[in-house]
Structure 1
Amino acid sequence: MSSEKKGKEYYLRKIPEDTPCLLLSSFYVGEKKSVFLKFYNPSDYQVYFWSEYFFQNAATHKHQPYCFVKKEFASEANRIVDEDKARYTIQTVKKLDDILDEEIEILKILAPDPLAIGGTDNSFREKVTSWEADIKYHESYLYDIGLIPGAFYKRIGNSLVFHEFSIPKGVDQYLNSLFTSNNFQNTFSNNEYDKFLLKWSRLLNQPIPNIKRLALDIEVDSEEGRMPTARDHDRIITAVGLSGSDGLKKVYVLKRGSESEVTSLDQSIEICETEKEMLLKVFELLKDYPIVLTYNGDDFDLPYLYARSQDPRIDPKNGSPIEKDLVPIVIKRESFIKRGIQADPVTLQNGIHIDLFRTFQNRSVQNYAFSHKYSEFTLRAISEALLEDTKIEFEGSISDLSIQKLAEYCLKDADLTFRLSSFNDNLLMKLIIIIARISRMSIEDITRFGVNQWIRSMMFFEHRQQNIIIPRRDELLQKGTSSTTAIIKEKKYRGGLVVEPELGIHFNVVVVDFASLYPSIIKVHNLSYETVNCPHGECKGNQLNHIEGTSHWICRKKRGMTSILIGTLRDLRVNYYKNLSKDNTLTKEDKQLYSVISQAIKVILNATYGVMGAEIFPLYCLPVAEATAAIGRTTTMRTIKKCNEDNVKVIYGDTDSLFLKNPSNERLSSISNWAKQELGVDLEIDKRYRYVVFSALKKNYLGVLEDGTVDVKGLTGKKSHTPPFIRKAFYEILNVLKEVFSEKDFTNAKIKIKKVVHSLAEDLEKRNIPLEELSFNVMINKSPEKYGIKSTSIGNRTISLDGKAKDFNNVKGVPQHIKAAKQLVELGKDLKAGDIISYVKTRTLDGVKPVSLVNKSEVDNEKYLETMEATFDQVLSSLNLNFKSIIGKPRQSNLDELFWS
């Protein structure tokens, strides 16, 4: 077999017939002019492929790349097609235009390859105003065929068929009750709504297999003052650690000179004579795993492995690189590596690659899936937060480690990466698959793109399935603009209602939460880009359809797509999956699955309203976002009015939460039932506080829950970058407040708190606080080069990637941690994206110095007093205490301090 054939045969391994397999992803192969699909077979743990290319001689219509052109641009489109008939063909088709609410004739432009439609300066979309020309072809294929990543399919002949799993009887009963209880606006028939409920449940109830996977981490020999990059790939790979779901624990280490033995006879460590030998063994292992996990592998590990494999220097004896057909890593655009830019995700021939760094960086995953348990995105920080484990510590350069220590360090990183995918019964992997099902998006794309792309894909899929043309941005802008005035400066319309808090201390406070408030409003009030400010005169003319506080109206003739999609997901989560996750008649595994599904839906729902009002979202429609917020304010105000009528005092409110003082259970139940019946929203008890303390600062409060837990909202003292000496004192203050049970207890609590603050200020003045305790700890999100920092510097001038000099002392707005990072790089420190920079505020020219470089006499005490005041005042103001009074002297400028000295 020729090397060319061997290198290409991986995507010719056809999915077996009549065997349920999980769709993982789709990709386009240019030379075959066809989309290929990757499937995982749980019965043999292998990846298989499917493509129309397999059946190209069959009498079936082959899918082609295309875009649409409306009739007003038809003459221009016809001219382009006539000039290049070899590339383009043209058809007249009918599509539904949801903005106009009518069927229209439209031109469909077909091409032999995706680049003919879009992606180059000579593409069709660059010449003619087009619709749907910017959708990636592998996505477009899934939308048209109706294939859903994360779902199971069987191949029957030349066709893929959705595999139906039976729903347990007990689970089916919950679903039946959901259909009968659905009381969506009576204006519409429930048939369409119920069909979506059934489709969602059949899809989401499919089992989730434990996919065989492998985590990988590499270590590269370092050079003082330089960080290794895939572009240069001139530093040898010294170790590769591997940790698998099948129990594999393996680390390959490169032999160093005469050092050939590992002191402990650890079977997981294998020493390789050459770098080429090591990489060949790693590549052979990678081929056996459907999923390969890395931490920052898109930007470093996999591009570096690939680039190094093609470098003759890995084989000093023969000077030959590794044949490409033996390398399982696929770099979509090799030119990016040569230019030092990694713009595309890196994948694998025989599987898929998931970069957990990008996954955990996703704000929706951070906030909604993991409840903000981590605030930094380093492997160390996330492992400590979620696994209660951490990386191996060492001092000096990694090149100075013995083979034994290097192997342990590398394997530990690989193992932590794997465990982040497996902890809590494979929670992360299950979340990824469920989100792929909801969004109709390849698993690789799910882990690399934000929630706005997830919702975009879900919406685009449904447009194609219903033969609705996807509107352009300029069409959506014609729907109208804002009719309310924003309170928050950067917003374009007025947001949620905030009820100013009653300052001070309040005992026995219950927080009630509108469960999925905005998704509920989108459902109940039929909000979607085509239904807000619809084209029907009778809808606009009926005052009952107008949204209070705005100039917008809602359609009552048809049900909106967003309303159906989000409404059915919301109902399934609130009334179906949340109940199933608590049903003790089900197995532990089933309950855990339903809990994960509920969590995944929550991630999508909580982001829906936000993306509707975000310009980055392709279906951005300002009137929809504004209408949602306006109805939200009305919902909150009506609920407050109901509370007042029932003699329940509201002491604070923010968007979807109300703080109620000393309400009885009967009153809470009454208000909740009223909200369900009158407003179509679920009002649930979120928290019960022993007491809450409100400060004058907006959205900042602290409370002690009934179990004694101190709950802090928006207070900087708990943030990870706050200097440790301030953070420790802050938590010491919270522990004092934890012991308060009555108003009398606050007298003693105030005395203790004043003592903590005064003592800390004294220690600062006397310079008794260790430098490590004074450090601010901030993560760099990009490599130093991307900030324009390189180790080759002339004075304060640093050469950036584009060759232009930057004067860091004169550039306004350069973050302090970047100034500190620059100082470290200039001294030869290797830094990469995700590293934590620890610095101290000083009286030096930069105003900061890395902890390792600072002298105690350089510390700027005045700046630290400012930080202390900003942190503690958030609590002190609630207790009617004043920071300046506690420390016993007025604040001074540096000049004043010199004068008084």
Structure 2
Amino acid sequence: MKESLLASAFYDGDSRLAVLKFYDQEAGRFWHWKDNTGHRPYCYTRLERSELTEIAKRKDVVEILDEEREDLLNDRKVTLRKIVTTDPLAIGGGNDSIRDRIKAWEADIKYYENFAYDRGLRMGTYYTVSAGKVIPARKDLPERVAVSLAQLLQRNPPEFAPYLKEWAELLGEPLSEFKRVALDIEVANEAGRLPDPENPKQPVIAVSFFNEAERTVYLLRSGKDTEGLKGAPFAAEVFEDERSLLRAVMWKIMEYPVVVTFNGDDFDLRYLKHRAEEIGIPEAENPIQLERVASTLKHGVHIDLYQFFRNRSIQVYAFSNKYSDHTLNGISESLLNKSKVEFEGEIGDLPLAKLGEYCLNDSQLTFELTSTGGGLVMKLLLVISRIGKMPINDVSRLGVSNWIRSMLFFEHRRLGALIPRQDELSEKGGASSQAVIKGKKYKGGLVIEPKPGIYFDVSVLDFASLYPSLIKVYNLSYETVNCPHEECRTNVVPDTSSWVCRKRKGITSLVTGSLRDLRVSHYKPLTKDQSISKEERELYNVVTQGLKVFLNATYGAMGFETFAFYCLPVAEATAALGRYAITKTIQKSTELGIEVLYGDTDSLFLKNPSRDQITTISKWADGELGVELDLDKVYRYVAFSSRKKNYFGVLPDGTVDIRGLTGKKSQTPEFLKRTFYQALEILSRVKTTEDFERARANIRELLTKMIGDLKGKKVAVEDLAFNVMMGKTTEKYNGTTPQHVRAAKLLEDKGREIKAGEIIQYVKTRSPPYVRPVELARVDDVDADKYIEYAHSMFDQMLDALDFSFDEMLGATTLDLFWSG
């Protein structure tokens, strides 16, 4: 096999072997390589051989070996028993599995992951196969990039050098362009019945395929006229029977190595698979393979964008919260400025041309989400695959804690270290600090109370990758916090009873610290370096974004109880050092004569500091704390509420920057949202204290009118709709029924089909069930008091900074209505 990219892997249950999927960009296809090394499933135990007599007798146990591993938790080498089996299900997941019989280590890792870790295989990078052997295709760094890396190595302790070199080589490999197509299906509807992918009784009536070169829709005729398809902006193929349509779909899927869907795991591919079985299409003709939660392709890779865009870290760090609605329509409107095709009635009643247009538009939106921004999504998937040592299709489905888990599992295997069990990590103790937020297990990040009011010329200083920096500088890792060395107990973390090891560097500190330094001091400068090619700059820009997603999620994963390396003292120590860094920086700012107006976990708002003061405080933070302070933004003015994290600021160009204010939430009714933004528009024009006073009066007048219009029933029902997404179908909601689900059930009673991911528009009403879907509501049904109550919570945050309350206006409006009545 010539040089190809290792994109995925899986376990072949028939041959009981790991299989690697290599993508050949030139041929536009995947090559499959089956393991020929004799690798077998295994797990470890600390039990002696004499205690494993019954295990050794099992038919699925091949052998039990003694093997030495590094026990990082206890800083020693240990000899363990390695139980080798014929099948991964013997280890775990099957009936009477070994991990259910004895206390085992590393028994909950998927077999293909195990194989990749043991063989040191780096997903997302290039290999060749020669004489049956998989050989890395190493790439040399460009000269300018190599110089930048050498400078970074000089600035770091020697322990970090191997990691920095390895990461730089890994992330510097060129990205691959994947031949791909987006797919969407439509299913005939049946009154009062939703299409069930596990029991697919309704026929597939349309399947669309879209990419730059293809706009194809397969349609089931169903007795409809085909005249309207003449001149259609897509290639239509009409089938007289569903079996022929589905066989053509299967062949089309096999033409593409990568198929992209939006919710294809749960619906599109799952429905196609089961529907093909239902009508008798042979398994050999069906390229779709189903797993417990995923739908995959035998010949290639399936990317489901629904799970990817739902990932909170992708939403926040890769796309800067540009979208908040996780539906295809919501994401497309925010990122592409495009939306789904609107229609009235039932999908199955649409003329063929309209049905084709509707179906194709969905696959077009799906494809363009992967091609917008220079193909950012596909490139991010590949970069994160490299960092996380994880197949690209798994990256698209799994959350950040799984990415970090995979990365650390790989590092443990590379070091010959035993991966600890969760119960071992819990033995390191709990938190010694008192949580401020109910439900949390330890004291979190520091938020300085804002000084309510309006302030002009405010600078915001941001701690660049604060928590990753602290993890590196203070050597935080599960094995270094509360380490076993008596002499380290004096190295106490401020505001906790924990201590940190002085004798060795922790694995999390080394990995996270090296990635953090590469992002901040290597790749970010390279994205602006005109001496390297445009393609290289674009690569490093994507790498920078991928690292941002990874690094900013690291601290959050550490505090996530289901994370494989969850260790409460580590999470607590990280938060405590964050508070320490912020507190010390505030003290230094005060010494320099800078007034700190507000502090928000990893940023400080300073009142009109000079350039020299900013330079001085930044140099101090770098030298004293080992963290970098950057000037993030400068506001013309900022208005603070007394509530933490609630403020708005106006940038020099008049752009209003909102934080924590209810009015910007996507579910907020349009009428209230419009009023909210009218208020912001008034505030955006403020340039002086006098302007601000006039703005206060104008906003008082605006909100008084809003209350009057609500009480006077002058607002259209559509403008009062709350918009909430269905996280699942109605029958899967148990216990208390949320308002949007109650509204959805009313729609189902009228024969409407409601799918997971759909946006439900409803209004609050005066009579049971106290909500009605917009389609079924009248103005007289609306409970004005509920909307005024919502507006109260929404605007009170803003008004607090304007020094008057919502209750004042509510009282004044009620009095006006009384006299006018």
Q: Normalization by structure 1: what TM-score?
A: 0.89
Which structure 2 residues correspond to residues 263-342 of structure 1 after superposition, within 5 A? Answer: 263-266=229-232, 268-312=235-279, 321-332=280-291
Task: Tell me whether 1:40 sits opposite 2:23 in the alignment.
Answer: yes
**Residue aligning to 2:150:** 176
Q: Within 2, Cα distance between the matches of 1:525 and 1:513?
A: 19
What amino acid is aligned across from residue 34 of structure 2 in structure 1? Answer: S
Instruction: Single out whichever of 257-266 and 430-439 deviates more from structure 2.
Output: 257-266
Q: 1:502 to 1:79 in 2, by over 3 A?
A: same
Task: Tell me whether 1:471 sits opposite 2:420 in the alignment.
Answer: yes
Return the match for 1:665 from 595, 611, 628: 611
Task: Tell me whether 1:50 sits opposite 2:33 in the alignment.
Answer: yes
**Residue aligning to 1:864:** 787
Q: 1:86 to 1:119 in 2, by over 3 A?
A: closer
Return the match for 1:249 from 194, 208, 215: 215
Q: Within 2, Cα distance between the matches of 1:387 and 1:600?
A: 21
CA shift, 1:265, in A, is 2.8
Give the 3-state SS of the residue equivalent to 1:214 in structure 2.
Answer: strand
CA shift, 1:380, in A, is 0.6
Q: 1:777 to 1:651 in 2, by over 3 A?
A: same
8 Å CA contact 1:81–1:89 kept in 2: the answer is no
Q: 1:816 to 1:86 in 2, by over 3 A?
A: closer
Q: Within 2, Cα distance between the matches of 1:385 and 1:725?
A: 20
Question: What value does the CA root-mean-square deviation take over the aligned residues?
Answer: 1.6
What amino acid is aligned across from residue 165 of structure 2 in structure 1? Answer: L
Q: Within 1, Cα distance between the matches of 2:318 and 2:54?
A: 49
**Residue aligning to 2:321:** 372
Give the 3-state SS of the residue equivalent to 2:61 in structure 1.
Answer: coil
1:357-378 deviations in Å (ceiling 9; x for gaps): 1111111111111111110111
**Residue aligning to 1:400:** 349
Q: 1:445 to 1:891 in 2, by over 3 A?
A: farther
**Residue aligning to 2:136:** 162
Return the match for 1:589 from 500, 510, 535: 535
Which structure 2 residues correspond to residues 596-745 of structure 1 after superposition, within 5 A? Answer: 596-745=542-691
What amino acid is aligned across from residue 144 of structure 1 in structure 2? Answer: D
CA shift, 1:778, in A, is 0.4
Return the match for 2:46 from 67, 70, 95: 70
CA shift, 1:259, in A, is 1.6
What amino acid is aligned across from residue 492 of structure 1 in structure 2? Answer: K
Aligned length: 818
CA shift, 1:74, in A, is 4.8
Give the 3-state SS of the residue equivalent to 2:460 in structure 1.
Answer: strand
Which structure 2 residues correspond to residues 849-888 of structure 1 after superposition, within 5 A? Answer: 849-888=772-811
Give the 3-state SS of the residue equivalent to 1:31 in structure 2.
Answer: coil
Q: Within 1, Cα distance between the matches of 2:119 and 2:224?
A: 60
8 Å CA contact 2:60–2:90 kept in 1: the answer is no
1:777-824 deviations in Å (ceiling 9; x for gaps): 100111223226xxxxxxxxxxxxxxxxxxxxxx5x421111111111
Give the 3-state SS of the residue equivalent to 2:228 in structure 1.
Answer: coil
**Residue aligning to 1:838:** 761
Return the match for 1:765 from 700, 711, 718: 711
Give the 3-state SS of the residue equivalent to 1:130 in structure 2.
Answer: coil
Q: Within 2, Cα distance between the matches of 1:877 and 1:265?
A: 59
Structure 2 unmatched runs, 5+: none
What amino acid is aligned across from residue 600 of structure 1 in structure 2? Answer: G
Return the match for 2:63 from 89, 106, 113: 89
Instruction: Single out whichever of 387-396 and 504-513 deviates more from structure 2.
Output: 387-396
Instruction: Single out whichever of 85-94 and 255-264 deviates more from structure 2.
Output: 255-264
CA shift, 1:638, in A, is 1.1
Task: Tell me whether 1:501 sits opposite 2:445 in the alignment.
Answer: no
**Residue aligning to 1:123:** 97
What amino acid is aligned across from residue 305 of structure 1 in structure 2? Answer: L
Task: Tell me whether 1:755 sits opposite 2:704 in the alignment.
Answer: no
What amino acid is aligned across from residue 281 of structure 1 in structure 2? Answer: A
CA shift, 1:888, in A, is 3.7
Task: Tell me whether 1:237 sits opposite 2:213 in the alignment.
Answer: no
Q: Within 1, Cα distance between the matches of 2:773 and 2:91?
A: 51
1:284-321 deviations in Å (ceiling 9; x for gaps): 11112111001111111111111111223xxxxxxxx2
8 Å CA contact 1:696–1:878 kept in 2: the answer is yes
**Residue aligning to 2:172:** 205
CA shift, 1:261, in A, is 3.1
What amino acid is aligned across from residue 393 of structure 1 in structure 2? Answer: E
Instruction: Single out whichever of 413-422 and 265-274 deviates more from structure 2.
Output: 265-274
Task: Tell me whether 1:104 sits opposite 2:70 in the alignment.
Answer: no
Identity value in percent: 47
CA shift, 1:586, in A, is 2.5
Which structure 2 residues correspond to residues 545-556 of structure 1 after superposition, within 5 A? Answer: 545-556=491-502
Task: Tell me whether 1:780 sits opposite 2:739 in the alignment.
Answer: no
Instruction: Single out whichever of 84-93 and 388-397 deviates more from structure 2.
Output: 84-93
Q: Within 1, Cα distance between the matches of 2:537 and 2:465?
A: 21
What amino acid is aligned across from residue 32 of structure 2 in structure 1? Answer: F
Q: Within 1, Cα distance between the matches of 2:668 and 2:738?
A: 15
8 Å CA contact 2:445–2:578 kept in 1: the answer is yes
Q: Within 2, Cα distance between the matches of 1:224 and 1:584?
A: 61
**Residue aligning to 1:579:** 525
CA shift, 1:889, in A, is 4.4
Give the 3-state SS of the residue equivalent to 2:182 in structure 1.
Answer: strand
Q: Within 1, Cα distance between the matches of 2:226 and 2:578?
A: 69
1:668-689 deviations in Å (ceiling 9; x for gaps): 0111011111111000011110
8 Å CA contact 1:777–1:836 kept in 2: the answer is yes
Q: Within 1, Cα distance between the matches of 2:207 and 2:229?
A: 19
CA shift, 1:250, in A, is 0.6
What amino acid is aligned across from residue 11 of structure 2 in structure 1? Answer: Y
Q: Within 2, Cα distance between the matches of 1:84 and 1:302?
A: 39
1:702-753 deviations in Å (ceiling 9; x for gaps): 0001221100000010111011100000000000000000111112111110
What amino acid is aligned across from residue 91 of structure 1 in structure 2? Answer: L
CA shift, 1:85, in A, is 5.0
1:543-587 deviations in Å (ceiling 9; x for gaps): 3x1112111111111110000000000000000111111112233
CA shift, 1:264, in A, is 2.8
What amino acid is aligned across from residue 121 of structure 1 in structure 2? Answer: N
Give the 3-state SS of the residue equivalent to 1:687 in structure 2.
Answer: strand
8 Å CA contact 1:81–1:88 kept in 2: the answer is no
**Residue aligning to 1:517:** 466
CA shift, 1:839, in A, is 0.5
CA shift, 1:609, in A, is 0.9
CA shift, 1:66, in A, is 0.4
8 Å CA contact 1:884–1:891 kept in 2: the answer is no
Which structure 2 residues correspond to residues 437-448 of structure 1 after superposition, within 5 A? Answer: 437-448=386-397
CA shift, 1:876, in A, is 0.9
8 Å CA contact 2:42–2:82 kept in 1: the answer is yes
Q: Normalization by structure 2: what TM-score?
A: 0.98
8 Å CA contact 2:470–2:578 kept in 1: the answer is yes
**Residue aligning to 1:317:** none
1:156-176 deviations in Å (ceiling 9; x for gaps): 222212111222111211111
8 Å CA contact 1:306–1:327 kept in 2: the answer is yes
